[in-house]
Structure 1
Amino acid sequence: MSEHSSPSKPSQSQMLLAAIAAMALIVVAVFVLSMKKDNPKENKKFEQDVVVPAAQVPQLNTAGLKPEQAESSAEQAVNASNSENTASQQQANTTINTQPSLVQPEPVAKVNIAAPAPLKLDDSDNAVRNRIAEYMAEKSVELFVSDDMIRRMVVFVDNTAKGTIAKKHMPVNRPAEAFMALEDDIIVTDPNSYERYTPYATMFANLSTAQIVRLYQQFQPLIVEAYEEIGYEGDEFNGVLVQAIEELLDTPVPETTLPLIKNSVTYRYAYPEWEQLSDVQKQFLRMGPNNMKKVKQRLVTLQKQLAE
């Protein structure tokens, strides 16, 4: 066989055929990419599985040609076919390698998350009760009055700072048992009467200082609002809280049983130095020495924390 010349450039019809093949591959690529939403597994064999069909060698009519001319024409046809096939394969590879750029990513939808509405003072009881329940046992939670919890606390603290007791605004329920005294030659408080306040003292002592401060800080805006409702500047409440703590810490802890004097249906302290204490301090004495020490210990650490 004689040596043939280099293959000629593809004709316009061959380039058109290659372009059509490339467009077909683009359509297939887009279809496969769209199916990825339903089938997230990537087909790693996709590129290997793409087969470009071999172009058929066109049949030439060699009748009337000399053998050398017929052979040369056949070789040219094969070379042209190979050239067309190579061009189609290159176009296919280019299409496959660049297929991620054919599909524009869908824009991520922006989800507007509305900020939670600020808690209102009138609707705060559930939030306060739920937060307290995170720190305390159920029996301790039951000690609290369940309505107007923040307002009650604010009024009670304001009165405590002044040495008075806001009986109508107690933030906790009253003990179920009544006060008891042992009446003999000397009237004294029945030691069993101190036990009425043990659940309250234990509840307060078991709360960590950090937990108390977090509760106070979380609801401070509502506390300020409640304090303004009773006619004060809201930002003054921190100072009032410190004064209330100091009022209780200034209450002396008795080392012995204190004698009482019965006055009609009530009792008062026989010694003037105890009777002249403020109403809230005398109420504090009714908790008994052990409970007073528990509460004072927690008040001291709380006072330091609030002062920082």
Structure 2
Amino acid sequence: MSEHSSEPEVQKGSSNNNLIFAVVILLLVAGVAAFILLKPEDKPVQVVEDIVSEQAPVVEYQEPEPEPEPEVTEPEPEPVVVDTAPERTPEPVPDVEPLPTLNESDDVVIARMDEVLSDQVMSLMVTDDLIRRGVVYVDNIAKGKVALSHAPVERPKESFKVIEGDILTIDPNSYERYTPYVKLFTSLSAAQVIRMYDEYKPLINEAYAEIGYEGDAFTGTLEEAIDVLLDTPEPKGDMPLIRNSVTYQYAYSEWESLPDAQKQLLRMGPENMKKVKAALRNIKAELEK
């Protein structure tokens, strides 16, 4: 708006200057004429006529002066608008680093997790084909199964222990085998888990499609897996066991008939199970948002 108003002011000032100049010339002519008329010359009239005729071009030059006024109406501001257009260019959006391919994602994902997890916790991770492992593992959990060969973490090195007495029960020290894994699972906030999930979701969907599903259906599968684990019953006391060759089974059928995924959670012990369930509830709440 300021540039629109400045141009007419310049033209107007120029026009006023021309008028002032013309008035000054007229005054000079009038002054010279008066001076000549007051002198005792024989032909004062002729002198005045000569002076006027000599100055006439100057006086007549006043008539073309109004011609610049049409210039005031010319659309001069248009070039100004064009000149200022580049200044309105939006600021560049910061470059987002593209995701790696699924086959080359291990280093990137591990480095990302290493930023937020301790070295002790990271030592539990299986670092090859991590996204594919996680996808297959979650898909099995949603079915109540445990795909040990696709577990994204190393298996506990300590052996399973029992207390032998009148009844066979789990040694509480066996629960401690899973404490580092619970720390791994609960060391990330639900918001961090979902943020990383969203960040690598295209690769997760790709891995899910590789095993015969619609890739974008994995979020529903993840919610089903969480529900399976949350539905794990919480025992009030010790659960008797029976020995079956080299393995152990729950003595009560209601426990032994539970899905493998839920029995795996039971083996972590009551305190670890509570922590895992609390973290799962928070993750589910974030997913539902």
The equivalent residue for 1:247 is: 228
The structure 2 residue matched to 1:277, chosen from 242, 245, 258, is 258
Amino acid paired to 2:214: E
**Normalized per residue, which structure has more helix?**
2
Change (3 A) 1:130 1:118: closer
1:182 shift after superposition: 1.1
Pairing 1:257–2:238 present:
yes
Residue correspondence of structure 1 range 1-308 to structure 2 within 5 A: 118-308=99-289
Identity, in percent, stands at 54
Amino acid paired to 2:112: R
Query: How many Å separate the matches in 1 of 2:266 and 2:229?
Result: 10
1:118 shift after superposition: 3.8
Query: How many Å separate the matches in 1 of 2:96 and 2:202?
Result: 17
Moved more, 221-230 or 134-143: 134-143
Amino acid paired to 1:126: D
- Per the alignment, in what secondary structure is the counterpart of residue 188 of structure 1? strand
Q: CA offsets, 1:26-78, max 9 Å, x none?
A: xxxxxxxxxxxxxxxxxxxxxxxxxxxxxxxxxxxxxxxxxxxxxxxxxxxxx
Change (3 A) 1:203 1:115: closer
Amino acid paired to 2:276: V
1:207 shift after superposition: 1.2
**How high is the TM-score relative to the length of structure 2?**
0.66
Gaps of 5+ in 1: 1-112
1:273 shift after superposition: 1.1
Gaps of 5+ in 2: 1-93
Q: CA offsets, 1:159-202, max 9 Å, x none?
A: 00000111110110001101111122200001000000001112
- Per the alignment, in what secondary structure is the counterpart of residue 246 of structure 1? helix
Please tell me whether the aligned partners of residues 202 and 294 of structure 1 are also in contact (alpha carbons under 8 angstroms).
Answer: no
Query: How many Å separate the matches in 2 of 1:252 and 1:201?
Result: 18
- Per the alignment, in what secondary structure is the counterpart of residue 115 of structure 2? helix
RMSD between aligned alpha carbons?
1.4
Structure 1 stretches of 4+ moved >4 Å: 113-117
**How high is the TM-score relative to the length of structure 1?**
0.62
Query: How many Å separate the matches in 2 of 1:150 and 1:203?
Result: 17
Query: How many Å separate the matches in 1 of 2:160 and 2:142?
Result: 24
Query: How many Å separate the matches in 1 of 2:143 and 2:128?
Result: 24
Query: How many Å separate the matches in 2 of 1:231 and 1:198?
Result: 34
1:136 shift after superposition: 0.8
